[in-house]
Amino acid sequence: MSGRLLLPGRSTRKRAAAIGAAALLWSGLAPAAWQTAQAEDGRTDGVRAAADARAAEPGIGLGWGSNGAGQLGDGTTTLRSTTPVRICGGAPCPTPFDDVIAVDAGIAHSVALRADGTVWAWGSNSRGQLGNGTTTNSTTPVQVCAVGATAPCTDFLTGITAVAAGATHVVALRGNGTVVAWGANGSGQLGNGTNADSSVPVQVSGLTNVSAIAAGDLHSLAALTNGFVRAWGNNSTGQLGNGTATNSNVPVEVCAVGATAPCTDFLAGVTAVAGGGAHSLALRTDGTVRSWGGNGAGQLGNGTNANSSVPVQVSGLTGVKSVAAGVIHSLAVPADGIARTWGDNSSGQLGNGTTTSSKVPVRVCAPGTTAPCASFLTGVKDVSGGLLHSVSLHTDGTVRAWGSNGSGQLGNGTTTGSTVPVRVCALGQTAPCTRFLDGVGAIGTGDNHTLAVKRPSADLAIAIKSAPNPVAHDQNLTYTLTVKNNGPTAAEDVRLDDTLPADGEFVSAISTHGSCVVPPSGSTDTVTCALGDLAANTSKAAQIVITVRANAGTTVVNTAKVSSDTPDPNQINNTATVRTRVS
């Protein structure tokens, strides 16, 4: 098992780091290790986080990697996709699953939070982890039912600000600071005082004023607005942090560093939590990190391999902005934007160019480097950990991944693993990719699949030139139409529509990319050119030739418009007109 942890009664699996309310999705904080919004005055404020979630800009859901249970949400159970595919928003499947502000994933299921506060899930449903009142798998998103509803549900969960996926359970934070959960509950990970699975949400007992949540394989965590932490579920390696190895089906308070059970001193000053396979992480207001639970591969980061049932300090980390956890490895992003990792590295998931595990944090190498690396991955704002792979989201909206890749979970068009980061390909690309994923605001990882929320935004502009100008009656006039994308992300399926002048007759149309649908020669009509995708800061052009039939002294007017499938908030430059004098 390469030193990987075996959880009771089931196979090894990833972490299940929580994802953030949307306030973090577009900020510098980590959705993969859900934490609350950071207020302008430096306070962490759960109420503010809920408000910011509603103001966050949503996007469309994408997925790549393993798909045997439909966890990519593309309407299929095709075993894998090595590059991103769209999550279905309805029939037909090309309709995008939009208005998404956060995503996370478990063994073989996925969950998303939409901007309206509703929750949707897809993939495996063997333990009711889709929350729709059934145990039937779904290859497309289904809406999570309300607390106490029965299938077929007519009442649905609303008012949610954050969600987190465990192995086969899900935890959700309400805007009022309470928590609900659904799915598997054999270890008490739903926190409702029972060990019975539930295919619809149940209320976690006794929790109020919660500001952040996380889910591990078989346990769950919550940070409160007062900075204390609660945990519940499996505790076989001390991952509840209460000084014991006894499971709990209701939340218990996490002890302070160095405390012994029964604890009278408790962990405080926490703003974010993350759950691994059988370990837990907490980020404190001072930028340091605490950890507890299983430590066989050094995933607690304190320089030892000894499990701990109370928190220990992660070595050498300061100024940390976000944390996340894989099954037996951990991740963090300090203020310098260089990702740190520690723990199991059997598949290169630490990203430091080796497969040697580390008991203390190491820096993730830059793409294309080899160990010992002299340059490192920079510009990181969020991280997420899967079973044996890791993913980073960068300030420019691009995504990198490293580690195991047998199911295509690195998204680079191959199934070859990598011990250093590789860039995730753009939607629809095949290896070797020439375009890469951009405009991403949130990431999440399952065992062997990865999810992202993409905020596509193009800024198309069109310019027209005519030659000769002036032009003579019965002379050919050539229009050169140039389309440029000034936006931050690629424009998909760009279309150019040129309404030809009524006093001209069509001769020909040639596009440097794609193809044009043209009217019969000698007629007057519209030329439509499909230019394909247009990457940010690139241009494509077309030439259209007409024969001028206008009389001398008049003006020939030609208007063209450009559009695409990508949202374009600045359409003032999407139309252009050229006037050519007839001599």
Q: Which amino acid is at 133?
A: G
Half-sphere exposure at residue 233, Cβ-oriented, CA atoms within 13 angstroms? 37
Pairing of strands 491-499, 526-534: antiparallel
pLDDT at 103 over 80: yes
Give dist(CA 452, CA 101) in Å, integer.
10
Q: Strands of 106-155 (E only): list them.
A: 109-114, 119-123, 138-143
Q: What angle do CA 418, 423, 426 make, to 5 degrees?
A: 130
pLDDT classification of 456: cutoffs 50, 70, 90 = confident
Pairing of strands 491-499, 449-454: unpaired
pLDDT at 416 over 70: yes
Q: Are 221 and 293 in contact (CB under 8 A)?
A: no
Bridge partners, 534 (sequence order)? 491
Give dist(CA 273, CA 26) in Å, integer.
19
DSSP percent split of the chain into helix, strand, coil, nearest 5: 5, 45, 55
CA distance to 450, 505, 506, 508, 559, per residue, from 520 (Å): 48, 9, 7, 9, 19
Exposure string over 454-464, b if 16+ CB within 10 A, otherwise e: bbbbbbbbbeb
Give dist(CA 496, CA 491) in Å, integer.
13
CA distance to 182, 189, 341, per residue, from 221 (Å): 14, 9, 21
3-state secondary structure of 76: coil
Q: Over the stretch 143-190, which tens digit does the pLDDT of each residue have?
A: 999 999 999 999 999 999 999 999 999 999 999 999 999 999 999 999
Exposure string over 391-419, b if 16+ CB within 10 A, otherwise e: bbbbeebbbbbbbbbbbbbbbbbbbebbb
Top-level class of domain 460-581? mainly beta
Q: Over the stretch 537-574, which tens digit does the pLDDT of each residue have?
A: 899 999 999 999 999 999 999 999 999 988 888 899 99
pLDDT of residue 13: 39
Give dist(CA 119, CA 213) in Å, integer.
15
Fold held by 22-454: Methylamine Dehydrogenase; Chain H (2.130.10)
Give dist(CA 552, CA 581) in Å, integer.
8
pLDDT classification of 513: cutoffs 50, 70, 90 = confident
User: For the chain, what's the residue count?
Assistant: 583
> Which of 28-37, 250-259, 425-434, 565-574 shows the lowest per-residue confidence on average (mean pLDDT)?
28-37
Average pLDDT, the chain: 89
Q: Which residue has the tokens 């247009």?
A: 534
pLDDT at 19 over 50: no
Q: Are 394 and 452 in contact (CB under 8 A)?
A: no
Domain limits, the chain: 22-454, 460-581
Q: What is the pTM of this model?
A: 0.81
Q: What is the DSSP secondary structure assignment for residue 573, as one 8-state letter? A: G
Q: Are 577 and 562 in contact (CB under 8 A)?
A: no
Tokens of 267: 């962990």
